[in-house]
């Protein structure tokens, strides 16, 4: 299953990821990249598997390299991971059955050199 833009994986979805500007510091998507906050549990079979998008992961790791990538589609794998360059935040606050179970995740975005808060 693929719920990212409701498009099949591969070229149609990669076209969307290719629109992400290289200069992006904070990337917001609905779907997670492969391997970060994308672990689901099939309740009937009690089997875990990853559902993140590999093309999104490649776009993030090989081209865009944002400081933060925030998403939330996979409710059962909320939390924070990193690859050493990007901090991946699955900010889902709800359980699989849509009950609020997780606190919000707060983070600070560092200012670029030459900028200051006003």
pLDDT digits (tens, 9 = 90+) for 11-30: 888 999 999 999 999 999 99
pLDDT band per the 50, 70, 90 thresholds, residue 44 = low
Rounded Cα distance between 82 and 107, Å, is 14
> Where in the chain are the domains?
11-90
How many angstroms separate the Cα of 33 from the Cα of each of 9, 29, 48, 59, 111?
A: 12, 9, 16, 9, 25
Give the predicted TM-score (pTM) of the model. Answer: 0.86
């Amino acid at each position: 299953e693929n719920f990212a833009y409701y498009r099949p994986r591969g070229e149609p979805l990669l076209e969307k990821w290719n629109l992400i500007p290289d200069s992006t510091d904070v990337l917001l998507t609905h779907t997670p990249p492969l391997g970060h906050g994308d672990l689901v549990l099939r309740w009937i079979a009690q089997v875990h598997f990853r559902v993140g998008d590999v093309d999104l992961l490649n776009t993030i790791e090989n081209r865009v390299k944002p400081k933060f990538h925030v998403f939330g589609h996979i409710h059962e794998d909320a939390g924070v991971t990193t690859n050493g360059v990007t901090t991946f935040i699955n900010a889902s606050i709800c359980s699989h059955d849509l009950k609020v179970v997780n606190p919000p995740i707060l983070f600070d975005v560092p200012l670029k050199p030459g900028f200051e808060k006003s």
